[in-house]
């Protein structure tokens, strides 16, 4: 791809961007596509993508490989893939990393419509109760039954028997969760399992998040609140959402599927860095900020448990790892340990905002202990999921480039 193929920045949302960033046509298309995609992942950087590319461009950062250490919705990783970069993505949440498997490792939708239809069919046989009885506050009886049927069919299928493939584990081998754990899947089945479980959950999240306050820390609305706002059920077009032709990720994969595939990990960031497995020219850090909405295990509890099986509270190591960037007290020492383990990456790009665990000055001071060349760029944009009575709630977001 020709990176000299300069096009104007059509997405200059806040008026402060560089209008001459050299996105090539494919990346421009992907940025445009992402703008039209309904991405409600908490803390996603959809609105910051152009700024991220500008900071790197303005500072003349040269990189072929990128490590997206907390990839979340994979929007940042997807843009880097569109640029032909070799991407390594990681997230501790299996719901997130299974999405990254789709966006970074697939070259097309890995499951046919007919196979998806099979998995949603209710044969009338008893499916083990997983959602039913456990999450009745969020779902109607019919919805819970449907989700149990789907989960059961998946785990019984050839593709799902080993569990959901969620990327690589700490030892560098494929990680499967929720199933027998035995690595018996074919490569095609592995990709299909990640795709299927991720997008069933994604569909549920889109149907059940009605905005506003979280219900006891979760992104799903309580059933009665949801029913006040929408008559849509989870069954509504669940098939369409998995159908190759109408799937929300299908345009994306049609565009970036021809670019080199990347690597995905489903690990605690500190443990992964300690393993020494990851190498990259550029590391992008977008950790939970340590303020409100930093508790990702709770925010996505239902989906995470649907994929993994056991309650998050029973996964000791994972539960503790989710705390690293949640509690303000422990935050700083975990952040420092992380940077200490990242010395080998030549460039760091770090996201923070004003509600982070510390002020941007204090955060910069910490980073300065590790790096001499630091560039702090404030970016203003509006959070649309945190509207307050007084109109727009603007918050400064910061991109810190450190070399
Ligand atoms: C701010 S979000 C990242 C958003 C992402 N950049 C995007 O654009 O969607 C932070 C992510 O860190 C993940 N996370 C939290 N603790 C972690 C840990 N100890 N190791 C790895 N990932 C972690 C969360 O699951 C969450 O997806």
Q: What is the DSSP string of 286-299?
A: ----SSTT--HHHH
* pLDDT of amino acid 20: 57
Minimal CA–CA distance to 379: which of 358, 357, 403, 349? Answer: 349
Ligand 1 atom 23, closest CA:
92
Compute and round to an integer the Cα radius of gyration of the chain.
21
Q: How close is the Cα of 70 to the center of ligand 1, in Å?
A: 4
Contact predicate 348/342, CB 8 Å? yes
Q: Please choose from 275, 287, 300, 399 the residue to mutate so as to test ligand 1's pocket, defined by most ligand atoms within 8 A of CB.
A: 287
**Cα–Cα distance, 237 to 243 (Å, whole number):** 10
pTM higher than 0.95: no
Pull the structure tokens for residue 106: 């697939």
Q: Please choose from 104, 252, 288, 292 the residue to mutate so as to test ligand 1's pocket, defined by most ligand atoms within 8 A of CB.
A: 288
Q: Please choose from 271, 277, 296 the residue to mutate so as to test ligand 1's pocket, defined by most ligand atoms within 8 A of CB.
A: 296
Minimal CA–CA distance to 65: which of 215, 359, 248, 279? Answer: 279
Contact predicate 250/220, CB 8 Å? no
Q: Position of tokens 């299909």?
A: 192
Minimal CA–CA distance to 324: which of 397, 265, 270? Answer: 270
**199 within ligand 1 shell (Cβ under 6 A):** no
Q: How close is the Cα of 222 to the center of ligand 1, in Å?
A: 24
Pull the structure tokens for residue 121: 């069919």
**Cα–Cα distance, 144 to 130 (Å, whole number):** 8
Mean pLDDT by 10 residues, the chain (403 residues): 42 47 84 90 93 93 97 98 97 98 97 92 88 93 95 95 97 94 85 97 89 75 87 86 83 96 98 98 96 88 96 90 91 97 98 90 97 92 49 72 98
Ligand 1 atom 26, closest CA:
72
* pLDDT of amino acid 332: 96
**288 within ligand 1 shell (Cβ under 6 A):** yes
Q: How close is the Cα of 72 to the center of ligand 1, in Å?
A: 5
Q: How close is the Cα of 369 to the center of ligand 1, in Å?
A: 24
Contacts of 310 (CB under 8 A, 6+ apart): none
Contacts of 71 (CB under 8 A, 6+ apart): 77, 89, 90, 91, 96, 97, 100, 264
Instruction: Find the helix packing angle between 75-82 and 25-36, rounded to 10°.
Output: 160
* pLDDT of amino acid 22: 63
**43 within ligand 1 shell (Cβ under 6 A):** yes
Q: How close is the Cα of 290 to the center of ligand 1, in Å?
A: 11
- The ligand 1 atom nearest the CA atom of 91: 22
**44 within ligand 1 shell (Cβ under 6 A):** yes
**Within 13 A of 12's CA, how many CA atoms are on the CB side?**
12
Q: Beta 263-265 vs 86-90: how paired, if at all?
A: parallel
Q: Tell me the CA end-to-end span of the chain in Å, nearest whole number.
A: 27
Q: How close is the Cα of 73 to the center of ligand 1, in Å?
A: 9
* pLDDT of amino acid 23: 76
**287 within ligand 1 shell (Cβ under 6 A):** yes
Q: How close is the Cα of 256 to the center of ligand 1, in Å?
A: 23
In b/e form, how buried is each residue of 347-366, taking b as 16+ CB within 10 angstroms?
A: bbbbbbbeebbbebeebbee
């Amino acid at each position: 791809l020709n990176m000299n193929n300069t096009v104007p920045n059509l997405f200059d949302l806040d008026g402060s961007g560089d209008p001459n960033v050299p996105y090539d046509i494919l990346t421009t298309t992907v940025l445009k596509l992402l703008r039209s995609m309904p991405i409600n992942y908490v803390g996603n950087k959809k609105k910051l993508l152009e700024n991220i590319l500008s900071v790197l461009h303005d500072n003349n950062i040269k990189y072929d490989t990128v490590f997206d250490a907390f990839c979340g919705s994979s929007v940042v990783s997807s843009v880097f893939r569109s640029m032909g970069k070799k991407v390594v993505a990681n997230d501790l949440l299996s719901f997130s990393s299974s999405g990254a498997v789709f966006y970074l490792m697939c070259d097309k939708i890995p499951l046919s419509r007919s196979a998806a239809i099979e998995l949603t069919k209710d044969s009338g046989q008893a499916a083990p109760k997983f959602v039913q009885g456990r999450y009745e506050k969020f779902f109607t009886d019919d919805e819970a039954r449907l989700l149990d049927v789907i989960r059961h069919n998946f785990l019984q299928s050839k593709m799902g028997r080993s569990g959901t493939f969620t990327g690589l584990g700490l030892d560098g081998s494929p990680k499967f969760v929720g199933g027998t754990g035995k690595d018996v899947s074919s490569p095609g089945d592995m990709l299909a399992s990640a795709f299927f479980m991720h997008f069933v959950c994604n569909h549920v999240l889109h149907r059940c998040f009605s905005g506003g306050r979280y219900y006891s820390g979760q992104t799903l609305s309580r059933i009665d609140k949801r029913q006040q706002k929408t008559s849509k059920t989870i069954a509504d077009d669940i098939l369409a959402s998995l159908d190759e032709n109408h799937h929300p990720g299908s345009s994306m994969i049609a565009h970036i599927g021809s670019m080199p595939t990347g690597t995905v990990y489903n690990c605690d960031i500190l443990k992964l860095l300690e393993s020494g497995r990851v190498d990259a020219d550029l590391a992008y850090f977008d950790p939970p900020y340590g303020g409100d909405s930093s508790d990702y295990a709770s925010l996505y509890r239902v989906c995470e448990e649907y994929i993994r099986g056991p309650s998050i509270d029973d996964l000791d190591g994972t539960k503790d790892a989710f705390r690293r960037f949640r509690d303000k007290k422990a935050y700083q020492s975990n952040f420092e340990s992380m940077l200490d383990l990242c010395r080998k990456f030549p460039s760091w790009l770090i996201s923070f905002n004003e509600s982070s665990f510390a002020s941007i000055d204090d955060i910069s001071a910490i980073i300065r202990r590790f790096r001499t060349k630091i560039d702090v760029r404030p970016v203003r944009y509006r959070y649309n999921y945190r509207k307050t009575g007084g109109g727009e709630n603007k918050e400064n977001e910061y991109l810190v480039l450190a070399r």
